[in-house]
Amino acid sequence: MPERQLAAITGGSSGIGASFARKLAQRGYDLLLIARREDRMRSLARELADAHHVIVDTMAADLSLDADIDRVADRLGSAANLGLLVNNAGFGSHGFFFETGVAGQDKMHRLHVLATMRLSHAALSNLVARGAGGVINVASVAGFGQAPSNVSYCATKAWMISFTEGLSIELMVKGSPVKVQALCPGFTLSEFHDVLGMDRSAIPSSLWMPADFVVEDSLRALDKGQVVCVPGWRYKLIVRGMKMIPRSIAAAMTRRFRKPKAAQATSR
C-alpha cells in the first residue's frame, strides 16, 4: 500500500486551519497540526483520527519565534511523506501603525512573512526534490489594497501573494509539478474577529463566508493548479474592482469615507 501523504497546517487549532485539517483528513492525508494551543489541537487530532483513520500529530509552536520556526522547518524538511504545507497561522490588527505598540507589528511580520518564507523553503526543498505536492499560503483580500488601521496586515498579506506568485513562476521555469497557491479570503467565520475584539454585526451578513466554504474552494483551485484563489463571487468582483482602481483614487476614497478607530495590534 502506498504511504499516506502528510499535510502540515500552521494555525491548525481553530478557524480556517481546523477546517483544512477536517477536509484534508477526509481526503486521506495524515496531518501535522502546528499552533500554540496544544489542548485544542489534541482534541481535534483525536476527533479526526477516530473519524478518518489517519495519523494526526501536533506540534506546539509559536511561529513568531525563531527557535520554534527552526523546529518546525526541520520537521518539514525531513518528512519523507510530506505532501502539502498550509501556511495559515495569522492574526489581525487595528489602530494606526504609529499609535500601536511595535511589538505586535513585529510579531505580525515574523508570523506572516518570516515563518511563511522559512517553512515554504523547508517544504519546497523537500517537495521539489521528490517532484510532488503543494504549498498553500493563506493571505487575504486585504493583500490587494491598503486601509488605515490595517497597514501591517495588508502589507504582510500583499507580500504573501507576491511571494507565492514568484514561487509559481520558479516552479514553472523548473518544470516542477509542485503547486503553490495564495488563498485570499474575505470575511470568514472563525476566531479571528474574536481575537481582534471586533463586532461581527458591523459587517453585512452577505459578506461572511463559512471557513469550510473557503477551504473547499481552495482545495478545488489547488487541484486545478490555480495560483491565486479568491473564494466567493462577491469577493472576486471586489478584487477585480480593487485591481482596476488606480491607487491614488483608492487612497482619496479612503480619506473621504474612513474614520480612525482606537489603536490595537492584537494576538492571543
Ligand X SMILES: NC(=O)c1ccc[n+]([C@@H]2O[C@H](COP(=O)([O-])OP(=O)(O)OC[C@H]3O[C@@H](n4cnc5c(N)ncnc54)[C@H](OP(=O)(O)O)[C@@H]3O)[C@@H](O)[C@H]2O)c1
For the bound state, the minimum distance from the C-beta of residue 90 to ligand X, rounded and expressed in Å, comes to 2
Interface residues with ligand X (CB under 6 A) are 10-11, 13-17, 35-37, 40, 61-64, 88-91, 111, 138, 140, 185, 187-188, 190-192, 195, 267-268
Instruction: Please list the active-site residues.
Output: 153
Q: Which residue lies nearer to ligand X by CB, 105 or 190?
A: 190
For the bound state, the minimum distance from the C-beta of residue 62 to ligand X, rounded and expressed in Å, comes to 5
Rounded CA gap, 232 and 219, in Å? 14
Rounded CA gap, 147 and 157, in Å? 12
Q: Which residue lies nearer to ligand X by CB, 83 or 143?
A: 143
Q: Are 94 and 197 in contact (CB under 8 A)?
A: no
Q: Which residue lies nearer to ligand X by CB, 6 or 21?
A: 21
Q: What sign does the dihedral 218-224-225-228 (CA atoms) show?
A: negative
Rounded CA gap, 158 and 228, in Å? 12
Q: Which residue lies nearer to ligand X by CB, 174 or 240?
A: 240
Could you tell me if residue 85 is left (phi over 0), alpha (psi between -120 and 50 degrees) or otherwise beta?
A: beta
Rounded CA gap, 68 and 59, in Å? 10
For the bound state, the minimum distance from the C-beta of residue 103 to ligand X, rounded and expressed in Å, comes to 12
For the bound state, the minimum distance from the C-beta of residue 217 to ligand X, rounded and expressed in Å, comes to 13
